Structure 1
Amino acid sequence: MPYIVPIDTPTLGDRSYLVHDGRVAFVVDPQRDIDRILGVAASEGVRITHIFETHIHNDYVTGGYALAAATGAAYHVNADDPVTFDRVPVRDGDVITVGDTMRVRALATPGHTFTHLAYALETGNEQVAVFSGGSLLYGSVGRPDLLGPGHTHALVRHQYASARRLAAELPDQAGVYPTHGFGSFCSATQSDATTATIGSEKLINPALTHDEQAFVDELLAGLDAWPAYYAHMAATNTAGPAAPDLSPPERADAGQLRKRIAAGEWVVDLRNRVAFTAGHLAGTLNFGLDGSFATYLGWLIPWGTPLTLLGETPDQIAQAQRELVRIGIDRPAAHATGTPHQWAGGEDLATIPRATFADLALIRHHRHVTVLDVRRNLEWGSAHIDGALHIPLHDLPGRLADVPGGEVWVHCAAGYRASIAASLLAAHGHHVVAVDDDFDQAHASGLLALAAN
């Protein structure tokens, strides 16, 4: 039996796969930082001979082209994808033999994109797995709206038919190995499952348990905003992205950091929100490495803005760079390590008060404050604080003028996004308090108004 080794990228909610027979291997949907994949292959003692892309990805920069260049592997991409590089074109029904015992069969599964392929793995007379990419996920499917609203209604019906094709053509015991669905915004909904088979999906997946119209209605109603950087991914991937440069960027001293902030560049503090609010270089923005760092930074930063990274250690800078190259932010302008006192060059540090929802309930009895909710639309629609101003975090950079003067208490669902928002507001002169608390406590504090809109 083949060995299937998942290679997780939890910060983007994605998985790549290395599959081998003990001697040779193929890779499905490799991420940009291919050193991880080469490391897994080396530890397994196998040689990568084939690479398969299920689709031209919208949520990350592929490592397929670079991995093929590094290994000499055959790079299989849908023949109908308009790529500008040499690849092995593959179509529905094609069967590729890998090693002596593994056969990979391409299955057209449009829905996430029009040219999406899944790959069924066969050995002997058994179909053992399907690498379903963004088609059949755990308890869900990939989003059908990433190519724009003009295609959504066609793609959602393709997605339904594709999921049913996989369920009809593969045996119940075949394992399901999706690329998305582990927190990725490419997933229509989220599941806590970490493994599945065709048989288990037949019991729970709406694409396999609902009639077509019910599936379409439910899926479309559950879609919310997706990260702005997605708009750049397909163009990058069709051009054949090279391996990333992960060497440290230029070092910046305190004077250079101040100049970069004054010039409107982004200087990003990678520390967690507790450390940031306690003391930071004024004008810096907080995107902590302890959360969905690359997703939110890539979503909010005006594309092409020079970026400087601040971390306590070189390892933090290296981790941030690795995450950023996965979404096409390749070379930070500069970096600095150490402490905020060093970054400030002796100047006073800025601080942001932290509070709980209980604190907010108490303070509203004594004075007026603006409550800013930066959660997404579906979160707001489920429940929100009475009288709150709603500006989703991804809209905030363009709507800073909509935030009133005076004291602003900003919250999200757990604190991570609130700290990002608070740093943005503080950098633009607002008097801000960051609510660092679980949104369930807003209900316990009597703050919620159930929303009907």
Structure 2
Amino acid sequence: MFLEKIKTPGLSHLSYIIGSGGQAAVIDPRRDCEVYVEKARAEGLEITHIFETHRNEDLLSGSPILADLTGATVYHGPNAAGEIVFANTAREGDCFELGQLRIEVLETPGHTDDHLAFVIHDSEYCEGPVGVFTGDALFVGDVGRTDFYPERKEEVAGLLFDSLQKLCGLGDQAIIYPAHGAGSVCGSGMADREFSTIGHERRNNPRLRISDRDEFIKAKVAEHHYQPPYFRLMERLNLEGSDAAPRIMRPRRLGLEDLSESGADHLVDVREPLAYAAGHLPGAMCLPVGMIPAFAGWFLGEGDRIALVASQEDQLAHATAHLVRIGLDNVVGGYVGVVPAAAQGKAMRNIPMIGTEEIARRLNQDSREWTLLDVRDADERQEASIDGSEHIYVGELNTRWKELDRNRHYTLMCASGMRASVAAGWLASQGFKRLDIYLGSMGAWKQQSS
């Protein structure tokens, strides 16, 4: 038996390849899917099955592409919100043989109506399942979100409760293989580790420890999640099937003049926040490479022409890979060299960083021309906030910037200053000039107050 996890950085997406007897199955493949073919070949396996636990909202599925590459059959659950044109329907009780392995299908709705889990049985060990691919129903330390059907929120939360009881019934020995790890937008309470068992989760996962169905439903309905606009794009493309990812992820190299003539809808600076704040090209937004999976889908849309600005070539390659995995393919090119551009006399913009003492001074002044804008999520703000601050979640600035006054002075804050930099960069790209960033943000404020 062969089993390997493939992790997609940034998205914290976990996919798997499992095989035995010369055959292999891939579970929840990503769009750039050559990696599965390479691993199968290295193990002497032929990919014959592709299993999708559900229609993903946060990334593009590689299933139709991998099927074209290998001839494998794709299987997806019933009750999808539309026809999955590239997949056969798998249902409760269906079984698939791969050498000494038997993969059994469980219907586990709740996160989505079409959600499946795939249970691993090993014919040489008959005392219960070896493991289960849980998709977005059960994570390490958390369970799936249930906010995709707002008109049925109590119903789907109850369906997830029932699905979790079904998973727990597989036995404490079963290893869980979820579709996401910590950092994913699909759950906020996931543990940093990516290994666990049904038994460990049953005893330690806060949601699984809720034994009363009504109490579980109440807890799930009370959760607050954000849905970036690109989720709708992912849902549509994961019904229709996306095109193959570009084989070369490195964008075309642009010179300074090329950059201004590229016709880009968005100039995206992917350097670190401090570098952006110190000096950036006019009109550029701040979206550090590591934050692209979480926030690009809020500010960039399908078909938008994107030009990247980086401090080194590798940043361009990593940024492009992140964008391609969420369907934002139209990268017209990349420019490296903000400092050389400044040396050539190119005008630069900067956004000052300020500290706790200055924040306190301004709050005490009660200025009518200044706002401390908190861009953390609603749960963070509910736990702790600074008196006198106002709140708009960073992602929602994609449209709510129109509620703000371009002539007003805004200081952006979050938990540390990272998301505040993204927010400030977006406002700067929309023509706001009186901006600064609270360096350290809520973390620094708590330290000063303790």
TM-score (norm 1): 0.90
3-state SS of 2:331 partner = coil
Q: Within 5 A, what are the aligned runs for 1:181-220?
A: 181-187=181-187, 189-210=189-210, 211-220=212-221
Q: Which residue of 2 aligns with 1:101?
A: 100
3-state SS of 1:386 partner = coil
For these two proteins, the number of residue pairs brought into alignment is 440
Q: Give distance in 2, aligned partners of 1:343 and 1:27.
A: 48
Residues 1:26 and 1:435: Cα distance change in structure 2 (over 3 Å): same
Q: Give distance in 1, aligned partners of 2:62 and 2:342.
A: 35
* Residue segments in structure 1 that go unaligned for 5+ positions in a row: 448-453
1:435 aligns with 2:434: no
Using the TM superposition, give the Cα deviation of residue 207 of structure 1 relative to its aligned residue in structure 2, in angstroms. Answer: 4.3
3-state SS of 2:228 partner = coil
Q: Give distance in 2, aligned partners of 1:327 and 1:441.
A: 34
Q: Which amino acid aligns with 1:379?
A: E
Using the TM superposition, give the Cα deviation of residue 308 of structure 1 relative to its aligned residue in structure 2, in angstroms. Answer: 1.1
Q: Which residue of 2 aligns with 1:10?
A: 9
3-state SS of 1:66 partner = helix
Q: Which residue of 1 aligns with 2:286?
A: 286
Q: Which amino acid aligns with 1:415?
A: G
Q: Which residue of 1 aligns with 2:91?
A: 91
Task: Tell which deviates more after alignment, 433-442 or 59-68.
Answer: 433-442
3-state SS of 1:58 partner = coil
Q: Within 5 A, what are the aligned runs for 1:42-441?
A: 42-81=41-80, 82-98=82-98, 100-124=99-123, 125=126, 126-146=128-148, 148-168=149-169, 170-187=170-187, 189-210=189-210, 211-247=212-248, 248-258=250-260, 265-289=265-289, 291-342=290-341, 346-365=345-364, 368=367, 369-404=370-405, 405-427=407-429, 428-437=431-440, 439-441=442-444
Q: Give distance in 1, aligned partners of 2:223 and 2:84.
A: 35
Residues 1:238 and 1:406: Cα distance change in structure 2 (over 3 Å): closer
Say whether the 8 Å CA contact 1:142–1:181 is kept in structure 2: no
Q: Give distance in 2, aligned partners of 1:293 and 1:173.
A: 37
Identity, in percent, stands at: 32
Q: Give distance in 2, aligned partners of 1:359 and 1:42.
A: 60
Which deviations, in whole Å up to 9, do the C-alpha atoms of 1:31-78 show, x marking residues without a partner?
Answer: 111123333334444332211101111111101111111122222222
Q: Give distance in 1, aligned partners of 2:37 and 2:253.
A: 29
Q: Which amino acid aligns with 1:284?
A: A
3-state SS of 1:152 partner = helix
Say whether the 8 Å CA contact 2:181–2:192 is kept in structure 1: no
Q: Which amino acid aligns with 1:63?
A: G
Using the TM superposition, give the Cα deviation of residue 135 of structure 1 relative to its aligned residue in structure 2, in angstroms. Answer: 1.0
Say whether the 8 Å CA contact 2:304–2:330 is kept in structure 1: no
Q: Give distance in 1, aligned partners of 2:314 and 2:21.
A: 33
Task: Tell which deviates more after alignment, 301-310 or 244-253.
Answer: 244-253
Q: Which amino acid aligns with 1:254?
A: L
Residues 1:343 and 1:123: Cα distance change in structure 2 (over 3 Å): farther
Q: Give distance in 2, aligned partners of 1:80 and 1:394.
A: 30
Using the TM superposition, give the Cα deviation of residue 8 of structure 1 relative to its aligned residue in structure 2, in angstroms. Answer: 1.1
Residues 1:10 and 1:264: Cα distance change in structure 2 (over 3 Å): closer
Task: Tell which deviates more after alignment, 413-422 or 356-365.
Answer: 356-365
Using the TM superposition, give the Cα deviation of residue 114 of structure 1 relative to its aligned residue in structure 2, in angstroms. Answer: 0.8
Say whether the 8 Å CA contact 2:264–2:306 is kept in structure 1: no
Residues 1:85 and 1:400: Cα distance change in structure 2 (over 3 Å): closer
Say whether the 8 Å CA contact 1:267–1:309 is kept in structure 2: yes
Which deviations, in whole Å up to 9, do the C-alpha atoms of 1:182-218 show, x marking residues without a partner?
Answer: 2222226333342111111111234432111211122
Q: Which amino acid aligns with 1:105?
A: E
- Please, what is the CA RMSD of the aligned residues? 2.4
Residues 1:363 and 1:284: Cα distance change in structure 2 (over 3 Å): same
Which deviations, in whole Å up to 9, do the C-alpha atoms of 1:215-251 show, x marking residues without a partner?
Answer: 1122222222122211111110111223211434444
Q: Which amino acid aligns with 2:351?
A: I
Q: Give distance in 1, aligned partners of 2:213 and 2:114.
A: 21
TM-score (norm 2): 0.91
